[in-house]
Structure 1
Amino acid sequence: MSVLFVSDLHLDPARPAATDAFLALLAGPAREASALYILGDLFEAWIGDDDPGEPGASVCIALKALSQAGVPVFLMRGNRDFLYGQQIAGRSGATLLPDPCVVDLFAVPTLLMHGDLLCTDDAAYQAFRRQVRDPAWQQQFLAQPLAARHAFAAQARAASREHQQGLAETITDVNPAAVVEVLRRHGVDRLIHGHTHRPAMHALDVDGRAAQRIVLGDWYEQGSVLRVDADGLVLEALPLAADTGPAT
């Protein structure tokens, strides 16, 4: 049985095809997996566990059904859904993971991250990340009405798009030295992450040892699933149907 990894689905009512494809994965192939790991940015925005809106409600129900069918679900916070709390763990039947964390995959210790911590050349983003991960900031934000939080999320997404357009591609990608440092610090030779939307498998050298970095793809133009079993790793693309409008 395979362990499945996904990241950067950015599920949003304006892009129902991605939600439909993910729900189909949960109801079908994921039922044959030994575990499902979601390494951040499952949603385009998560403004708090008290938001009853879609697609969060439907996705949490489907994840809970998968968990109840005997497939463990693991959920990591990303840069868009960093406000996950314990309520979403209960609603989705998932275990929240720290970022980073090390898991054993078929006797291979593997470091899991969302990936944004590796983009150290983007100083402005790292400063923003420190701000919004501060518990006091989060407490103040979550105390606001849902409408105000939705407005902030929309403004933050627009600012992020503008920020990205003004940066060189190398700045928005991982810093190679940061990758080597995190592998060295955790004493592992394999890293799986998302965030950069650059799906690939990279061979590395860490202190004379062969290492590997696997980057999960986003779900904008197609889906992206990493399957890991005792025989190795396969990074697969999934077709998405054409979006015809917001989900109802």
Structure 2
Amino acid sequence: MSTLMISDLHLDPQRPEVTAAFLQFLHRQTRDADALYILGDLFEAWIGDDNDDDLADQVASALAARPIPKFFMHGNRDFLLGADYAARCGMQLLNDPCVIDLYGERVLLMHGDLLCTDDAAYQAFRTQVRDPQWQQGFLAQPLAARRAFAAQARAASAAHQSGFANMESITDVTPATVDAYLHQYRVTQLIHGHTHRPAVHTERGHRRIVLGDWYDQGSVLEIPADGEWTLQTLPIRHGVSS
């Protein structure tokens, strides 16, 4: 038995091969799992739980069919995913950050964007869109208006990132911020996604595991109840629909 963790799938109707890989993962690898944790950005964009597209229905049905505990933490793309959709999926919503007991060990879970404090412009945007009043106003708009906003936000994000002279340092985590969170929550283990740089970092007396994205290949952290943690890759067959 083991616990599985994934993030940054960025599911999108325009990338059906990733949806197909995710559905196959659910069918094959979660069958004997103790739990599944999704640490944000399950979807490329989420415009509200009243989203009526086929992808939302397909993912909810597939997740609900897996009879294991499932947990979801908001990412920077799907922070509007609410209790109604989580219930459809059979998922429990998690705060970001949160500490869990993982087979007797305290582990800090985060999506990861809070760790990227060198990107001041993004952090200001994050504060704005996480405000309950902003979210209430956004969700009150018609679906068409929300879809248009999401498209504009994606384009603005791409333009913002392309303007960095030192993309590697700006969009990665800030080491001092990592240390501050580990100290605040009194842990030595941190698992997060967001940066799309899968790796296991052992440094400064702690271990930080970064989950990968699901673009060219899938990324899964498998944590056995008694055994070595492994950061695995999964094939994505491009050109294959779900």
Same fold (TM over 0.5): yes
Letter in 2 for 1:187: R
Q: Distance in 2 between matches of 1:150 and 1:135?
A: 19
C-alpha displacement of 1:104: 1.1
Structure 1 residue aligned with 2:189: 190
Q: Distance in 1 between matches of 2:177 and 2:10?
A: 25
Q: Distance in 1 between matches of 2:56 and 2:145?
A: 18
Structure 1 residue ranges, 4+ long, deviating more than 3 angstroms after superposition: none
> Any idea what the Cα deviations from partners look like across 1:204-237, whole Å, max 9, x if unmatched?
21xxxx2100000000110000000121210000
Structure 1 residue aligned with 2:45: 45
> Any idea what the Cα deviations from partners look like across 1:110-130, whole Å, max 9, x if unmatched?
000000000000000000000
C-alpha displacement of 1:12: 0.2
> Any idea what the Cα deviations from partners look like across 1:38-84, whole Å, max 9, x if unmatched?
00000000000000213211011111111xx2x10000100000001
Superposition pairs for residues 114-153 of structure 1, below 5 Å? 114-153=111-150
Q: Does 1:7 align with 2:7?
A: yes
Gaps of 5+ in 2: none
Structure 1 residue aligned with 2:104: 107
TM-score normalized by the length of structure 1: 0.94
Question: SS of the residue aligned with 1:3?
Answer: strand
Question: SS of the residue aligned with 1:83?
Answer: coil
C-alpha displacement of 1:89: 1.6
Q: Distance in 2 between matches of 1:55 and 1:20?
A: 11
Q: Distance in 2 between matches of 1:106 and 1:94?
A: 20
Superposition pairs for residues 220-231 of structure 1, below 5 Å? 220-229=215-224, 230-231=226-227
Letter in 1 for 2:132: P
Q: Distance in 2 between matches of 1:158 and 1:151?
A: 11
Gaps of 5+ in 1: none
Q: Distance in 1 between matches of 2:57 and 2:156?
A: 27
C-alpha displacement of 1:243: 2.8
Structure 1 residue aligned with 2:169: 170
Structure 1 residue aligned with 2:239: 243
C-alpha displacement of 1:28: 1.5
| Percent identity (aligned) | 61
C-alpha displacement of 1:32: 1.2
> Any idea what the Cα deviations from partners look like across 1:159-186, whole Å, max 9, x if unmatched?
1011111122101000000000100000
TM-score normalized by the length of structure 2: 0.97
Q: Does 1:212 align with 2:207?
A: yes
Question: SS of the residue aligned with 1:28?
Answer: helix
Q: Distance in 2 between matches of 1:242 and 1:89?
A: 28
* Segment of structure 1 superposing worse, 33-42 or 160-169: 160-169
Q: Distance in 2 between matches of 1:218 and 1:105?
A: 23
Structure 1 residue aligned with 2:17: 17
Aligned length: 239
CA RMSD of aligned residues (A): 1.0
